[in-house]
Structures are given as C-alpha cells and as structure tokens.
Amino acid sequence: TRVGAGTQQTSLTAPTNQQVFILSETISTAQHYIINRGGAVVNSTPVQASINYTASVFIKYREGYHEWVQFSLGANGFGSTNFLNFNLVTGQFGNSSGIASTPQATLFSDGWYRVSFTVTTLANATASNNITIAFTNNTNTLTRLPSYTASGGGSVYVSSAQFERG
C-alpha cells in the first residue's frame, strides 16, 4: 500500500523551516509506506555502481502506536535487504541490514529527529534513488518493508528528505 505524498501540515514548523507532511497508516493488510522518488518518471534518476549514498530526513512522532519506523533505499540500486529501524520516541536505532556506516540521529527541538544513514550501491546498480519510510507495526522488525494488518492508528510528521552521493 503506497500511502502517497502525505498531507501538508501548515501549523507545524520543522527545524529547517520547510514544509511538513503528515504520513498516516492506511487500514489494510499490506506493506504501509511512503516512497519519495526522484526524476520525472518513477525510478528514472540513475545512481552510480559501488558508490556510497546518504539519505537523511527530519521525522517526528505524531500519534497512535507507531513509535517504530523503518527507512530504506531502492532495491534496484541498493539491494532488497537494506533497512534501518528507528524509534521515534526514544531516539534509538534498532535492527538494520546493508547500512554502510553508523547511522546518526540528532534530536532537535519539539521532538524532531534528523535521521541520516549511508548505503553503498550494488555493483550492478540501476536507476533507483528512492527513500522509503515504512510503518513497522510498532516493532523493531527483522524484515524490510514488513506486511501486517493495520489499525490506521498511527501517523508521523516528515520534512526535508535528502538523498545525495557521498
């Protein structure tokens, strides 16, 4: 289930003074995530093979039972097993796979975190520059993009996602 681009929140300000979006869990049995893809066509912007790329995003717990979220990068460029779990309430990292360096979480005012992590592209990487933020049924899962029966009871704030080489 693709949640979509989220709903813009106008009464909340991120530490970067950029737009803030609310990502809400859908009610279904499926994967629950949002994907931010670059380029005019889905997966159109190429990544270079065997190079480190860093993703970062400002994120904040909003409501419901979703303290845990998961970040990952596109499977065609970074492999189908890369992921990083993060607890939005405690600021702690959980299980991860395929992360090239120690992830960073910086706490800002009002409960905002800037989470950043680096992943190395595959030797045969193709165009795949998307950042995925997934709900994890509030568990520190060992599965990338877990599927579960949702209650629709969770949402998070997201702002200022970045994806860059290096």
For residue range 55-87, list pLDDT tens digits in order.
Answer: 999 999 998 877 999 999 888 888 899 999 999
What pLDDT is stored for residue 117 in this prediction?
A: 95
Mean pLDDT across the stretch 28-33? 76
**How far, in Å, CA of 106 to CA of 33, rounded?**
23
What pLDDT is stored for residue 86 in this prediction?
A: 97
For residue range 75-133, list pLDDT tens digits in order.
Answer: 888 889 999 999 999 999 999 999 998 999 999 988 999 999 999 999 998 766 678 88
What pLDDT is stored for residue 128 in this prediction?
A: 67
SS3 for 109? helix
- Count other Cβ atoms within 10 Å, centred on residue 63: 12
Residues 6 or more apart whose Cβ sits within 8 Å of residue 42 = none
| Cβ atoms of 16 and 58 closer than 8 Å | yes
**How far, in Å, CA of 59 to CA of 108, rounded?**
10
Q: Please, where are the H alpha helices in 14-123?
A: 75-78
**Structural tokens at position 16:** 């970067």
**How far, in Å, CA of 156 to CA of 65, rounded?**
10
| Cβ atoms of 50 and 119 closer than 8 Å | no
Residue 39 has pLDDT above 70, yes or no: no
